[in-house]
Amino acid sequence: MDGELDSDIPGAAFREVISSHLAHCERCARLEGQLRAMRQRLRECGASGVPADERPSDEFRAKMARLLAG
């Protein structure tokens, strides 16, 4: 999935071996799907770890800072 597996099999042939295995192994196929979903979610979150549409607004952050400051 991320190109980090070492193999003596050349690239395209190795991908074919993996694809063939995933086509016949439900457990590995499910894991591969979960890993791809997690990778996509991490990309969406960016460096902050929170998707942009879920980050608090500047106004909200300022209000919370005032409330916490007492």
Mean pLDDT of residues grouped by 10 in the chain (70 residues)? 68 84 95 89 71 80 86
Q: Return the domain boundaries, the chain.
A: 11-69
Single-letter code of the amino acid located at 54: E
Find the helix or strand (DSSP H, E) in which 12 lies: helix 11-24
pTM over 0.85, yes/no: no
Q: 22, exposed or middle or buried, with CB in 10 Å at 0-12, 13-18, 19+?
A: middle
DSSP letter for each residue of 41-56: HHHHHTTTTS-GGGSP
Q: Rg of the chain over CA atoms, in angstroms?
A: 21
